[in-house]
């Protein structure tokens, strides 16, 4: 698949950087500003040990270097396990392969048996990474509610710490291009979309490819930073802030002779949790909800039945008379 012609940033645009060692009141306001203006920012001084990151990257590299017939023993992804080429069930394709794991420790241990020769080691490494990245996620969500003036300081992070949280970890591997596409255009590794969850915490190896879509209508290439994290606002957080934050559209290109590997922690509430704006987001002058309330399971079902790039939140706008969606859980993860 080739990238369609679209405007790309021709001059340097500064990506917001959040230093978690900053003074807290200043830090919370900086996080809110970044979420409002970009829906995307880089996090430094996050306290995640480099060796924790390195161990997961090593395990991922070891898995993706296996012969295809061995990797396919961990699939097909339905939704968890190994998948390739097909991003979803609705015809979306990409130049990638991936592992998708539920963040629940028991699920990780079970799934590891089909992924790694040393399943215990793999399971321990993944669990360790998930735990430390979850803490970073919760810290950021606590900063969000402080910056928004929400009295309940755990209003968002408690959903991620909940035992039934539906958070997942995804490791994407984009093999290098062996032959340049016609016209020297880039190939789509993962098509343009927004993430349906609350927040995405992402890091990659030292190979570029990630782009975000700016409010000015430009695709902004994001320089790789293998030691720090990038944070993306998801659809659910857009709803919970009543549109004050906007989920960021992004895509991944494969335009290099080197392989790219990225790791995404998708922070999500429990399946039966009702999604609606925080009460503080309904204060005058914006005193009505822009969205109808829905459960996370309902939103996953809507996402699962749509194309990758569709605007799924349009189905839940308050002014729309949409049909009642089934509350049965689905397994879409993009």
Rounded Cα distance between 195 and 21, Å, is: 27
Dist. CA 258–CA 77, nearest whole Å: 25
Cβ-based neighbour number of residue 33 at 10 Å: 14
Kindly give the pairing relationship between strand 17-19 and strand 40-44: parallel
For residue 274, list its beta bridge partners.
Answer: 295
Q: Write out the E strands in 87-157.
A: 93-102
In the numeric block, which tokens belong to residue 15?
């990506």
Residue closest to 316 by CA, chosen among 299, 333, 296: 299
The residues annotated as belonging to the active site are: 260
Per-residue b or e along 37-62, where b marks 16 or more CB atoms closer than 10 Å to that residue's CB:
ebbbbbbeebebeeeebebbbebbee
Say how many Å lie between the first and final Cα of the chain, rounded.
Answer: 18
129 SS3 class: helix
Give CA angle at 99 (54, 86), nearest 5°.
Answer: 140
Listed residue (39, 22, 57, 35) closest to 226, CA to CA: 57
Whole-angstrom distance, CA of residue 154 vs CA of residue 239: 17
In DSSP notation, 36-51 reads HHTSEEEEES----HH
């Amino acid at each position: 698949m080739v990238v369609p012609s679209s405007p790309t940033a021709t001059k340097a645009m500064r990506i917001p950087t959040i230093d978690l060692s900053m003074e807290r009141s200043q830090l919370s306001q900086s996080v809110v500003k970044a979420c409002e203006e970009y829906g995307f920012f880089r996090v430094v001084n996050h306290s995640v040990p480099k060796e924790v990151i390195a161990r997961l990257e090593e395990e991922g590299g070891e898995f993706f270097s296996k012969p295809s017939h061995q990797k396919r023993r961990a699939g097909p992804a339905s939704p968890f396990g190994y998948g390739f080429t097909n991003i979803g069930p609705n015809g979306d394709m990409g130049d990638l392969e991936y592992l998708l794991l539920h963040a629940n420790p028991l699920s990780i241990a079970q799934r590891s048996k089909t992924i790694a020769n040393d399943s215990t080691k793999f399971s321990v490494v993944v669990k360790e990474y998930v735990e430390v990245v979850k803490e970073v996620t919760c810290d950021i969500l606590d900063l969000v509610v402080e910056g928004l003036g929400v009295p309940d300081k755990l209003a968002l992070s408690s959903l991620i710490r909940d035992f039934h949280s539906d958070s997942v970890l995804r490791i994407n591997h984009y093999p290098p291009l062996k032959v340049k596409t016609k016209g020297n255009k880039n190939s789509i590794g993962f098509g343009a979309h927004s993430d349906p969850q609350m927040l995405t915490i992402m890091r990659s190896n030292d190979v570029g490819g990630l782009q975000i879509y700016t409010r000015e209508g430009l695709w902004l290439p994001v320089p790789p930073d293998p030691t720090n994290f990038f944070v993306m606002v998801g659809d659910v957080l857009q709803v919970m802030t009543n549109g004050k934050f906007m989920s960021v559209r992004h895509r991944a290109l494969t335009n290099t002779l080197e392989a790219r590997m990225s790791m995404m922690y998708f922070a999500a509430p429990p399946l039966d949790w009702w999604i609606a704006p925080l009460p503080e987001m309904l204060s005058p002058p914006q005193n009505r909800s822009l969205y109808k309330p829905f459960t996370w399971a309902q939103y996953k079902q809507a996402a699962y039945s749509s194309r990758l790039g569709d605007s799924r939140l349009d189905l839940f706008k308050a002014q729309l008379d949409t049909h009642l969606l089934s509350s049965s859980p689905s397994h879409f993860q993009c």
